C-alpha cells in the first residue's frame, strides 16, 4: 500500500495488526485495494516484540520540567537526555546517518515519530544495533522520517530534519521517541520539539530556522518519495543492504533477526 500524507484536519486512521508470528506492527488503515509492486526482492516479515510491550511503551507519559534561568532565557530538561547522549556517545553522526560512512552494511529505518511500534524499536532494538554493529564500524544506520499517523508525525519529521542540519538527527529521534505521547493525541507540539532541541544543546536559533525552512520541507518530501519507491507499507520498516544483497524487515523485529540479516547481506 502506498503511504499517504496525513490529513490537515486530524489524525489518519491507523491500525495495529498481528503478523504471522503473533507480534504487532503498525499499518496505515487501507482506503482501497493495495497497490501492486513489481519489485522482485526478498521481503522478510519478521517476528515482532510482544503486544504487551507495545502497550507498555504507549502508556508512558511525556515528562518535561522547565526551570527559570537568566532574564529572557529558560532551561528545558527533557526526560532521557543523558541516556540518549550515553547511547550515542562517540558514534559519528552526519545528516541522517549514524556510524562510519564506509561501513559495509547499511540499515535504513523508515519511522514515524508518532508510531508506538517505532518507539518500541527505538528502545529495544536500536541500542543493540549500535552496541553490537555500529560502534565497531560494521553497520551504519540511516533514519528516514515519514509521516502518516497524525500532525505529530509531520512535526516530528520536521524536528528530526532540522536537527540533521546540526548532525544530530539520531539524537533528536531517540529523544522524541523516549518522550512519545499517545498516538491519538497531538502530543508533539512545536514548543515540545523546541524543548527537545534545547535539551540536546543544539543552536536553537538555527534549529528554529531550519524547522520552518523550505529546505526541510523538501527533504521531508524526498524521504516520503523514497519510502514509496521502496514499497514501504508499515512502520517501522528496516532495509538492510550490503555487498551480498538487500532485505526488508517489517516491524519492531528482534535483534536475532537483525544479526542473521547482517550476516546474510554483509561481506563474505
pLDDT value at residue 26: 59
Domain annotation covers residue 33 = no
Domain annotation covers residue 11 = no
Domain annotation covers residue 201 = yes
Q: Domains in the chain: how many in total? A: 1
pTM score, whole prediction: 0.75
- The CATH number linked to 102 is 3.40.30.10
Host domain of residue 107: 16-27+39-67+74-265
Domain annotation covers residue 8 = no
Domain annotation covers residue 220 = yes
Contact 112, 154 (CB under 8 A): no
pLDDT value at residue 28: 53
Contact 170, 88 (CB under 8 A): yes
Contact 136, 91 (CB under 8 A): no
pLDDT value at residue 58: 34
pLDDT value at residue 183: 84
Q: Which parts of the chain have pLDDT scores under 70? A: 1-78
Domain annotation covers residue 192 = yes
pLDDT value at residue 173: 98
Domain annotation covers residue 148 = yes
Domain annotation covers residue 97 = yes
Q: Which cell numbers in the block locate residue 118?
A: 517505532
Amino acid at each position: 500500500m502506498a503511504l499517504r500524507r496525513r490529513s490537515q484536519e486530524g489524525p489518519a486512521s491507523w491500525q495495529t495488526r498481528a503478523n504471522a508470528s503473533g507480534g504487532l506492527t503498525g499499518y496505515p488503515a487501507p482506503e482501497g485495494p493495495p497497490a501492486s509492486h513489481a519489485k522482485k526482492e526478498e521481503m522478510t516479515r519478521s517476528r515482532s516484540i510482544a503486544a504487551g510491550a507495545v502497550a507498555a511503551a504507549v502508556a508512558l507519559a511525556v515528562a518535561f520540567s522547565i526551570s527559570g534561568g537568566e532574564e529572557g532565557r529558560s532551561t528545558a530538561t527533557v526526560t532521557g537526555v543523558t541516556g540518549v547522549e550515553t547511547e550515542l556517545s562517540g558514534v559519528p553522526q552526519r545528516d541522517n546517518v549514524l556510524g562510519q560512512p564506509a561501513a559495509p552494511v547499511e540499515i535504513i529505518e523508515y519511522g514515524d515519530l508518532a508510531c508506538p511500534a517505532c518507539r518500541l524499536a527505538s528502545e529495544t532494538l536500536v541500542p543493540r544495533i549500535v552496541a553490537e554493529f555500529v560502534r565497531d564500524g560494521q553497520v551504519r544506520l540511516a533514519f528516514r522520517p515519514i509521516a502518516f499517523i497524525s500532525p505529530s508525525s509531520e512535526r516530528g519529521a520536521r524536528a528530526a530534519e532540522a536537527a540533521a542540519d546540526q548532525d544530530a538527527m539520531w539524537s533528536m529521534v531517540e529523544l522524541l521517541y523516549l518522550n512519545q505521547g499517545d498516538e491519538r493525541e497531538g502530543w508533539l507540539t512545536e514548543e515540545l520539539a523546541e524543548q527537545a532541541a534545547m535539551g540536546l544543546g543544539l543552536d536553537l536559533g538555527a534549529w528554529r530556522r531550519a524547522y520552518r525552512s523550505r529546505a526541510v520541507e523538501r527533504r521531508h518530501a524526498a524521504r516520503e518519495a523514497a519510502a514509496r519507491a521502496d514499497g514501504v507499507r508499515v512502520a517501522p520498516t528496516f532495509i538492510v543492504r550490503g555487498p551480498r544483497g538487500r532485505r526488508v524487515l517489517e516491524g519492531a523485529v528482534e535483534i536475532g533477526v537483525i544479526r542473521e540479516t547482517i550476516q546474510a547481506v554483509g561481506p563474505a
